[in-house]
Structure 1
Amino acid sequence: MAAACARTLCKVGWNILESPASRRPGTVSYLLGNVSAHGSRRAYGTGGPGVRSKLLSSLRGGGGRVLGCAFMLGGGLGLYQAVKFRFQQHLAEEEHKVSRGGGVRLTLYQYKTCPFCSKVRAFLDYHQLPYEIVEVNPVMRQEIKWSAYRKVPILMVDGEVQLNDSSVIISSLKTFLIKKDKSMSEILCCYPELKSVNDSGKKVTEYSNKYWLMLSEAETTAVYPEKGMQKEEMKWRQWADDWLVHLISPNVYRTAGEALASFDYIVREGKFSTFEGFFAKYVGAAAMFLISKRLKSRHNLQDDVRQDLYRAVDDWVAAIGKKRKFMGGDQPNLADLAVFGVLRVMEGLQAFDDMMENTKVKQWYRRMERASLNCEGRD
């Protein structure tokens, strides 16, 4: 509305200036009369006939050009203010869209103590994407009975699009935040499921491209401005999934006491009934203590599994180097968020305290805590 009025003022001013008779006494009266006929009579009639007569007489003999310039100046200023307001409104809408994850509604189905779920939460928190949490009962799993995919995490987008696998969730969401012309369904098509049977005869599901962001060449250059950054990020994201995460269980269930403390934490933070909680704490702790021994053998870990954890964490810190705050530079990248998410599930347990005391990870980990909570390092 404001823009339309401003354009009308500009048009009137231009007509006054262009009129060949603009210097004749009756011209200004004629043009003002036309404006009044199109709905502006109230504006020029508020002072009564005497005021209008004085205005017209004062503009005779060349005053039309002054009036024309005045109309154009007023119209120009009006247009400027209208455009400025609309631009500011557009920026606010875009900022709101980004902060709200493109306006999508996110629901995360999880176990709080699951390292893969913790990875997804680290990503969502760092990027300030609001989401609802549905804590899944690990015994009955009734909360995800509607899903053919029976693992967590599961992320639902707008209650319609289902994202499975922590790395696929993170890659597809990151792609969605960068690309403005693709829906989540379109992006998800770039991460097809691959079903197979492993050496043990168990059916498994994998996903193609799960460490890739589906971006154009220009977008890729903007996200990874330095050579090798993309490959480094992908390498360490995969390392977190294929190696680091397998060190968690053998370390938190290393001894009977640690296993009991771990399940006490799991029951306290998870969704269990009273009976399930008692059963999980004591029977589950005993079972996982025994299973951790098999995991140690399966992954070729040392007798003292702490040493494998220490070495892995120090390898990560060495890869970051002394000149970078994060592997992503001044701000965390997807590898930083993945490793932080995995290690975070040990907080409050003996394995975490030992790791912080016997490795060089503490400074990086504290920076990641601040980044995740306060978005430190974000543009």
Structure 2
Amino acid sequence: MAASCARTLGKVGLSFLESSASRPSGTFSYLLRNVGAHGSRRAYGTGAAGVRSKLLSGVRAGGGRVLGCAFLLGGGLGLYQTVKLSVQQHLAEEKRKAPAGSLKLILYQYKTCPFCSKVRAFLDYYGLPYEIVEVNPVMRQEIKWSTYRKVPILMVDDEVQLNDSSVIISSLKTHLVNKEKSMSNIIRCYPEMKSVNDGGKEVTEYNNKYWLMLSEAETVAVYPQKEMQKEEMKWRQWADDWLVHLISPNVYRTTGEALASFDYIVREGKFGTFEGFFAKYVGAAAMFLISKRLKRRHNLQDDVRQDLYKAVNDWVAAIGKNRKFMGGDQPNLADLAVFGVLRVMEGLQAFDDMMANTKVKYWYRRMERATLNHEGLNPEPQKH
């Protein structure tokens, strides 16, 4: 719209100049004299009729050129501002582009799912733009096209489907390190394995899901110290195999906490009116009972808060006092995984208790800032 106005002003200016080309000059000085003599009255809009008539006669006598110049100047300034704004917007878009370049990412998720939160933490930290599709946890119509019926699912360029949070993170990180590797080739390095668990239920697992598919030189660049890769993999697996199983027993620890948790789930998730009511009250009661079974399955203490506190303090102790993150000066994939899992408790009593009774707070706040500011886009050099 601004560009259109600028072009119009320019055309009007040219027409004034063309129509006044043969008229006498000197109008500009005449106008200045009139404005100088009566400027104070014009400033407040109280000029007499005589002043107005002199100005108008001056314009008729030869003011076309002045007006033409004014319109051309206005049009030029308008066009300049339009081009400037366009360039600024273009530069902003370029700055927001992800290191992965042209990858189009669509994340199918439940917002309160810890595995989905892990993926979002990774995408946010590295500044990768992505679209979210919130899946209805009852009908799951949003993923009816997929034979894999869990979340998260990440679609890449509408062609490559990535399943399992750890596979998604490992494959994307591999691509960020070496953009020459296509996602379709990378995903072949994480083969799907189906088996039947002790309960007779078919489960799907993925080989190599904590590994990055890098050359020896790339591995040294990402993990300059010998034990860094092994440590990262160990704690990523710990987040999946242990930490995530402490969430449900803690957020559904009492009937009151279960109701508060489902109120949050319904508010943040994609539920219809009836589904939301059903989920909030019936779901809360069901999960309160299920959390008791989970407590027995994972051999948790009667006060499950103590297991959460111990796990979180073990994590902080593993980081140590001399590192900001497990990755050093910047988060690594283990930092992002643990942060993603813990983040789903925000706003609930379990989260407040964890922050008050463990040593995790300072690391957690640093992780908040790192993901919010997309610090993985331009990481500072590591200190060793």
> TM-score by structure 1 length?
0.74
Any conservation in 2 of the 1:168–1:211 contact (CA below 8 Å)?
Answer: yes
Give the superposition deviation at 1:101: 2.2
- Supply the distance in 2 between the matched residues of 1:261 and 1:268 (Cα, whole angstroms): 11
Counterpart residue number, 1:221? 220
C-alpha distance after superposition, 1:80-107 (max 9, x if no partner): xxxxxxxxxxxx9xx8797252311000
Give the superposition deviation at 1:182: 1.2
181-190 or 249-258: bigger deviation: 181-190
Any conservation in 2 of the 1:97–1:103 contact (CA below 8 Å)?
Answer: no
4+ residue runs over 6 A deviation: 95-98
Counterpart residue number, 2:85? none
1:161-180 alignment, distance < 5 Å: 161-180=160-179
- Supply the distance in 2 between the matched residues of 1:284 and 1:123 (Cα, whole angstroms): 30
**2:301 alignment partner, SS class:** coil
> 2:285 aligned with 1:286, yes or no?
yes
Counterpart residue number, 1:141? 140
Counterpart residue number, 1:362? 361
- Supply the distance in 2 between the matched residues of 1:109 and 1:100 (Cα, whole angstroms): 22
**1:290 alignment partner, SS class:** helix
- Supply the distance in 2 between the matched residues of 1:355 and 1:186 (Cα, whole angstroms): 41
Counterpart residue number, 2:235? 236
Give the superposition deviation at 1:152: 0.1
Any conservation in 2 of the 1:102–1:177 contact (CA below 8 Å)?
Answer: no
Give the superposition deviation at 1:298: 0.2
**2:116 alignment partner, SS class:** helix
Any conservation in 2 of the 1:118–1:341 contact (CA below 8 Å)?
Answer: yes
C-alpha distance after superposition, 1:281-326 (max 9, x if no partner): 0000000000000000000000000000000000000000000000
Give the superposition deviation at 1:179: 1.0
- Give the aligned residue type for 2:256: G
**1:174 alignment partner, SS class:** helix
Q: Structure 2: which 5+ residue stretches go unaligned?
A: 1-90
> 2:333 aligned with 1:344, yes or no?
no
Aligned identity (percent) is 86
- Supply the distance in 1 between the matched residues of 2:375 and 2:347 (Cα, whole angstroms): 24
> 2:181 aligned with 1:182, yes or no?
yes
> 2:128 aligned with 1:121, yes or no?
no
- Give the aligned residue type for 1:111: Y
C-alpha distance after superposition, 1:337-365 (max 9, x if no partner): 00000000000000000000000000000
Counterpart residue number, 2:21? none
Give the superposition deviation at 1:180: 2.7
Any conservation in 2 of the 1:136–1:271 contact (CA below 8 Å)?
Answer: yes
> 2:333 aligned with 1:329, yes or no?
no
Give the superposition deviation at 1:376: 4.1
Any conservation in 1 of the 2:326–2:335 contact (CA below 8 Å)?
Answer: yes
Any conservation in 1 of the 2:126–2:375 contact (CA below 8 Å)?
Answer: no
**2:195 alignment partner, SS class:** strand
Counterpart residue number, 1:132? 131
Any conservation in 1 of the 2:190–2:209 contact (CA below 8 Å)?
Answer: yes
- Supply the distance in 2 between the matched residues of 1:102 and 1:165 (Cα, whole angstroms): 23
**1:312 alignment partner, SS class:** helix
- Supply the distance in 2 between the matched residues of 1:305 and 1:97 (Cα, whole angstroms): 42
- Give the aligned residue type for 2:98: S
C-alpha distance after superposition, 1:112-157 (max 9, x if no partner): 0000000000000000000000000000000000000000000000
Any conservation in 1 of the 2:252–2:287 contact (CA below 8 Å)?
Answer: yes
**1:99 alignment partner, SS class:** coil
C-alpha distance after superposition, 1:210-264 (max 9, x if no partner): 0000000000000000110000000000000000000000000000000000000
Superposition RMSD in Å? 1.3
Counterpart residue number, 2:305? 306
Counterpart residue number, 2:77? none
Counterpart residue number, 2:269? 270
Give the superposition deviation at 1:181: 2.0
Report how many aligned residue pairs link the two structures.
286
- Give the aligned residue type for 2:321: K
Q: 1:232 to 1:98 in 2, by over 3 A?
A: farther
- Give the aligned residue type for 1:279: F
Any conservation in 2 of the 1:263–1:284 contact (CA below 8 Å)?
Answer: yes
> TM-score by structure 2 length?
0.73
- Give the aligned residue type for 1:237: R
- Supply the distance in 2 between the matched residues of 1:243 and 1:348 (Cα, whole angstroms): 22
- Give the aligned residue type for 2:284: A
- Give the aligned residue type for 2:115: F
- Supply the distance in 2 between the matched residues of 1:319 and 1:197 (Cα, whole angstroms): 34
Any conservation in 2 of the 1:194–1:206 contact (CA below 8 Å)?
Answer: yes
- Supply the distance in 1 between the matched residues of 2:183 and 2:97 (Cα, whole angstroms): 14
Counterpart residue number, 2:205? 206
1:93-132 alignment, distance < 5 Å: 99-132=98-131
Any conservation in 2 of the 1:100–1:130 contact (CA below 8 Å)?
Answer: no
- Give the aligned residue type for 1:178: V
